[in-house]
Structure 1
């Protein structure tokens, strides 16, 4: 099969320009990869960049002080970095219930002592429908109060169970998964999702629970305020012995300097136990990409399986263009991770039942930049960052986020743009039904040569003529039905 259509210049079809890795099997250090990708989880939670990495610094320092066995320290290390793997799974539900930006709600909730009724009520009055009328706000608050603790328990259960499931799929141990499951349990039994108490809680989760809340207060208010919070919640949220360890650290302990680091994702890899360093092969890297694609697609029921389907389409197109197996693997990874930046977009925009306003569209247009900024941190994905983030660029230079002209758009970016457009248009969105294949292909034909790559459109048609392509509309409707059942 030909390497690529002759109308594409040699520069655009070379592996380097495309951003593909060479046909070489390699081993990758898992710690660096997930530390970099944890920034995607930070923006989903509305936290400052590096939140998970700094949480890991705190938790691993506690592990040293406790003298945890090496195997437990290894599990704790990854549980701390990946504690928020399930964070996107309740984003749509939280946005609906609060009538507010899910990222803001999630961010502010982390600093609230929510088991206290007075604190919870104060939080609701501040967060619910901030732009709604007094009547709308009162009705929403009343509805949430009627759900009581069970409503909060369901939100946490969804998050924790989904996070544990994704962690297992990425190849992590049951110890890591259990720590993620128990992350929001409290020492006094007032946490979620199961109301476990004291020693019933995974010891790794006890450390992680303290570390993540301490980091939030430390980042916002400083060390003294964080220590005061921990002391106040000792015996309630947190195991008293762990709080005592943190409180006993002198002011010149290296932890405090580490927390001020501007690159915590690079610093944190030093805390992985030397004799338990996890090295993964290409299949392992694929599993990480697949796991984070699940995080992305869980953000909204309207994008259910979007990344996975774009990857399937893009690989099929790459086959028709003569890509090597290594190049097909690279284009699949780019497709799986192309929308990573959407984790930083509010569900109030993603799930809006109408076309976005100019301001909302401006928010949407930022997501490719977020994708780039996250992937460029990850060593084995650095070469893919530019191409993955170029999936909304157009030949006429009027795409986003960089406005790259045709002469600078490699075939990988051109192909990914067409695959993304096709999948998105054939699926339903809040403001329209999914379009039939014939209509979508007609739209792509009308833009071929001026906005999108004609060779990529041709490869899509060729692949479709031999592939069994199933619409995701039924899957989307089932996901929406499940969400509505949970809400009612």
Structure 2
């Protein structure tokens, strides 16, 4: 199946930015700005073609393990992190991030780029590597990452450029090597730098790094899908593994119902991405074990619309986007976020609604044990009787997963 991999990674970067904004208060579009500045600098250093595309992906995903680090290493106690600088000095999320991208479809060797993207030129970084021991891409991303955090706000002015110059005067030779700083000034005059604008950032980035459709195997598609799903699931341990569970169910049900291999692959990907919008929902709502208030539930309902928005920036992805984002729509029009009715919901969208409910009912969470297959299917049947979900698909869920459990 052909996919707009760069577009997928850009969507992923938006999701990561939502999480970072909540946890450590970086500005929106941080990852995209880092990517744009990185490829601009690298271009002046002779990097081009597929290598430039791989740099863009690494820059977009440079902090991909931030939420995973907070959960695994800090046991979800965000209070242990008081300022952004403390995160920048930690090597754990670099190690996790390096591991996470191993199976993504890169064109070239990007080993150690994520691992060493917080190393300082003088060897004072987390792993004690000097700039001569660090890959060029890691050095470039390090420069752009900290420059964006230290100097860039929502509105760029002449004062911002003065701040940038002062920043490099203080850090050249210690945090950043002279070669990268020199390339930055080749890539950016004051006028060029002040043109980095959120409204035009997408166009500016894709003008530098054209997006191409890549043919991916099922294994590669699953690697990309799992990468996305882990970002959502690591944001909240209360929903940990839910996205992958839905993806697995969607794949199995699609095979059981006799769909072709490409549709099966698309269903797996849609399942993994269906809750990507939850990155924009606060953990105080995601992790509330009790019943949500009416206001909290209204906020929670926005996650499906956010999924639709996040996935809309990917080229030729409308079909998978809709399968993913319409999982809370109901046949009688009472679902959300768009209130679609039976005539507007195709078979795959109806399937996704059923497998999402089934997975949520049967999986265990910190505040509940998962239901039995029989009890979950009884609830699906009741929802079908009410006209909310497709009765035939609910019956197929019963047959598909009842059989799967017997075989297992």
CA offset at residue 466 of structure 1?
1.8
Report the alpha carbon displacement of residue 459 of structure 1 after superposing the two structures with TM: 0.8
What is the DSSP-based 3-state SS (H/G/I as helix, E as strand, rest coil) of the residue aligned with 1:439?
helix
Listed one character per residue, the Cα deviations across residues 35-83 of structure 1 (whole Å, up to 9, x for unaligned) are 3432222222225553322211111121123334767545423211221
User: Structure 2 matches for 1:196-275, cutoff 5 A?
Assistant: 196-216=129-149, 217-220=151-154, 222=156, 223-224=160-161, 225-247=163-185, 249-253=188-192, 255-257=193-195, 259-260=196-197, 262-272=199-209
Deviation, 1:109, is 4.2
Over the residues paired in the alignment, what is the CA RMSD in angstroms? 3.2
Aligned length: 395
Instruction: For CA contacts below 8 A with separation 6 or more, give which structure has more relative contact order.
Output: 1
Aligned partner of 1:58 in structure 2 is 37
Deviation at 1:313, TM superposition (A): 1.4
- Write out the 4+ residue segments of structure 1 that deviate beyond 6 Å after TM superposition: none
| Structure 1 position 279 matched with structure 2 position 214 | yes
CA contact (8 A) 2:384 2:390 kept: yes
Superposed displacement of residue 266, structure 1: 4.0
Unaligned runs of 5+ in 1: 1-24, 116-151, 472-488
Work out the CA distance in 2 between the residues paired with 1:229 and 1:405: 56
| Deviation (angstroms), 1:386 | 2.2
Q: 2 CA distance for matches of 1:267 and 1:71?
A: 18
Judged with a 3 Å threshold, the aligned counterparts in structure 2 of structure 1 residues 71 and 408 are, in CA distance, closer, same or farther, namely: closer
Is the contact made by 2:250 and 2:351 (CA closer than 8 Å) also made in structure 1?
Answer: yes
Structure 2 matches for 1:15-94, cutoff 5 A?
27-46=2-21, 47-68=26-47, 73-92=52-71
Normalised by the length of structure 1, the TM-score is 0.71
Residue 412 of structure 1: CA displacement? 1.6
After superposition, the C-alpha distances for 1:93-112 in whole angstroms (9 at most, x for unaligned) are 66832359xxxx7xx944x4
Does the 8 Å CA contact 1:425/1:434 hold for their aligned counterparts? yes
TM alignment of 1:32-431, pairs within 5 A: 32-46=7-21, 47-68=26-47, 73-92=52-71, 96-99=76-79, 109-110=83-84, 112=85, 153=90, 156-157=91-92, 159-172=93-106, 175-192=109-126, 194-216=127-149, 217-220=151-154, 222=156, 223-224=160-161, 225-247=163-185, 249-253=188-192, 255-257=193-195, 259-260=196-197, 262-272=199-209, 279-281=214-216, 283=218, 284-431=220-367
Alpha-carbon distance, 1:372 to partner: 0.8
TM superposition shift of 1:169: 1.0
> Which residues of structure 2 form unaligned runs of 5+?
none
Instruction: Tell me, yes or no, if the aligned pair for 2:35 and 2:205 is still in contact at 8 Å.
Output: yes
Instruction: Work out the CA distance in 2 between the residues paired with 1:96 and 1:286.
Output: 27
